[in-house]
Amino acid sequence: MSIFPKISFKKQAFQLREDAILDAATAILGSKGFDLMTMDDVANAVGISKPSLYKHFKSKEELVGEALIRLIDGASDYLAQMNVELSPSQKLSALLEWALRVRLDGGLPFLPSTSAHVREMLTRNIRYVTKVLMLNGKLEKLVLAAQKNGELDNTLPSDVILYSYYARTCDPAVEYLQKFSKMDNESIVTCMLQVAFQGFKTMPHN
Amino acid sequence: MSIFPKISFKKQAFQLREDAILDAATAILGSKGFDLMTMDDVANAVGISKPSLYKHFKSKEELVGEALIRLIDGASDYLAQMNVELSPSQKLSALLEWALRVRLDGGLPFLPSTSAHVREMLTRNIRYVTKVLMLNGKLEKLVLAAQKNGELDNTLPSDVILYSYYARTCDPAVEYLQKFSKMDNESIVTCMLQVAFQGFKTMPHN
DNA sequence: GTCTATAAGGAGATAGAC
DNA sequence: GTCTATCTCCTTATAGAC
């Protein structure tokens, strides 16, 4: 037994609760969005009181920032441990697939910046901005490499591809299909990937 | 001069103000979104007091509903007066182009249902729902026709195409490009249309 | 019909007891 | 560290004078 069993245990419990809070916040953010998510919602979902919640995160802004940082970290990790033999375009496709599965699993849209208000708020979170810029740099390089090797259209400005790529990670069509079509999650992912890379048009025979 | 100059004039002014209110609401909705738009914002933008605003629209819900109905009407009108010789896919492309231009011009995203909260609210507006269903029916027919004649991919479920089509009308990439790239609106529209129909992949030579 | 003033309730954040 | 109770501000909506 450790010499500091009590302290260690407490800290561990504290950390566990912190994760539970972030999980709850993530789920609520995904369903109601930032503006409608209240700190009461989060506290109730975790089963603690609001003041206790504020012991962990000193504001709603900070709580959401941490939840999004966890998401970005997940994406960066997934990208980092990817098979190095994959082509740039294959890596982009695999990461988009990951992001779609996260969302279908009740998680957050990858890029929550649909709202100008939220985007502006996140701008003030230096840790978040730093991590996003790091990931963005990697994705930008992948897009440029894929355009150079002919996998992606090099007549399009790379900005267009990059921003559209982000947009596909939070495509509302995913929720509509989940709610109003009878498709299972696998089919949704497959179709969304195809639409993202090939569009609606009939594919050329290959 | 009319026999009822005073009444007529008053009514006309009332109607003009109502349009001004809807214009203001549309602009604010486009920039801040529903949750953050306050009735004070709208009243101030129009230059009237809040109680006067409530003489025109009995609730925020009704005001937003009317603004969206005007938008849907615009889309339906544009679709109705389209050249009958255009193919189904050309009509879809032209309407998407219209929707993108409306947004680039400071208007609303075509489909505001990004938020579950707003979507649920609109569900209770029967006039709005009716009009949306009418338009949706026409678009669904166009998609099916385009799949049948080989213009659009008939291996994709038509739901996937239809929902993705809606999603492209409110693609956040548009705002990112407008804000962070040096592209003019024309180029943005062209690129977004290409990405929607052809995806990111290199086009086959044609 | 338009305004000033205000009611009613929600939500972020905290005081202070235990 | 946790809770109950509360503060404060903001927003929807309305009362009532002119």
Locate B168 and state its tokens: 């492209």
Instruction: Please tell me which of the candidates B36, B150, B196 has its beta carbon nearest to residue A35.
Output: B36
- Nearby residues of B22 by Cβ (< 8 Å), 6 or more positions away: B63, B66, B67, B70
Instruction: Please tell me which of the candidates B117, B151, B200 has its beta carbon nearest to residue A161.
Output: B200
Identify all chain A residues contacting B203, using CB atoms and an 8 Å cutoff. Answer: 153, 155
Nucleotide nearest the Cα atom of A60 (by C1'): C12
- Quote the pLDDT of residue A58: 95
State how far the Cα of A24 lies from the Cα of A43, in Å rounded to an integer.
Answer: 9
* Ordered DSSP codes for A158-172: HHHHHHHHHHHHT-T
In this structure, the number of other CB atoms found within 10 A of the CB of residue B111 comes to 21
- Most distant CA atoms of chain A, gap in Å: 69
Locate B92 and state its tokens: 């879809």
Within B86-206, residue ranges assigned H as helices are: 88-104, 116-123, 126-148, 158-169, 173-180, 185-198
CB-CB under 8 Å, A160 with B173: yes
Inform me whether the pLDDT recorded for A54 exceeds 90: yes
* First vs last C-alpha separation in chain A: 64
- Quote the pLDDT of residue A112: 60
Taking residues A177-182, what's their average pLDDT? 93
State how far the Cα of A42 lies from the Cα of A38, in Å rounded to an integer.
Answer: 7
Alpha-carbon Rg of chain B, whole angstroms? 20
- Nearby residues of B201 by Cβ (< 8 Å), 6 or more positions away: A151, A152, A153, A197, A198
- Nearby residues of B5 by Cβ (< 8 Å), 6 or more positions away: none
* Nearest C-alpha neighbor of B154 from the set A192, A200, A189: A200
State how far the Cα of B1 lies from the Cα of A197, in Å rounded to an integer.
Answer: 63
pTM above 0.85, yes or no: yes
State how far the Cα of A112 lies from the Cα of A103, in Å rounded to an integer.
Answer: 12
Q: What is the mean pLDDT of chain A?
A: 92
Taking residues A49-74, what's their average pLDDT? 96
- A138 half-sphere exposure, CB direction, 13 A CA radius: 16
Nucleotides of D under 7 A from a protein CB: 1-5, 10-16
DSSP state of B201: B
- Quote the pLDDT of residue B140: 98
- Quote the pLDDT of residue A7: 59
- Quote the pLDDT of residue A69: 96
Give the minimum alpha-carbon distance from A70 to chain B in angstroms, rounded to a whole number. 23
Place of tokens 């890379």: A197
Locate A110 and state its tokens: 């990858």
- Quote the pLDDT of residue A55: 95
Give per-10-residue mean pLDDT for chain B (206 aa). Answer: 59 86 94 93 96 96 96 97 97 98 88 76 94 97 98 97 96 93 96 98 73
Locate A46 and state its tokens: 């975790």
Inform me whether the pLDDT recorded for A1 exceeds 80: no
Domains and CATH numbers, chain B: 66-198 (1.10.357)
Question: To 5 degrees, how large is the angle CA A168–CA A165–CA A135?
Answer: 115
Q: pLDDT digit string (tens) for A88-123?
A: 999 999 999 999 999 999 888 876 666 778 888 999
- Quote the pLDDT of residue B31: 87
- Quote the pLDDT of residue B14: 82
Instruction: Please tell me which of the candidates B113, B156, B196 has its beta carbon nearest to residue A191.
Output: B156
State how far the Cα of A56 lies from the Cα of A73, in Å rounded to an integer.
Answer: 20
Amino acid identity of residue A74, one-letter, is G
**Does the nearest atom of strand D lie within 7 Å of B59's Cβ?**
yes
Give the minimum alpha-carbon distance from A164 to chain B in angstroms, rounded to a whole number. 5
Measured between alpha carbons, how far is residue B95 from residues A33, B47, B143, B144, B170 in Å? Answer: 29, 34, 13, 16, 13
- B164, B182, B194: best to mutate for the A interface, most A CBs within 10 A: B164
- Quote the pLDDT of residue B112: 60
pLDDT band of A133, cuts 50, 70, 90? very high
pLDDT band of A161, cuts 50, 70, 90? very high
Task: Give yes or no for a contact between A172 and A195, defined as CB atoms under 8 angstroms apart.
Answer: no
Task: Give yes or no for a contact between A100 and A159, defined as CB atoms under 8 angstroms apart.
Answer: no
State how far the Cα of A32 lies from the Cα of B118, in Å rounded to an integer.
Answer: 10
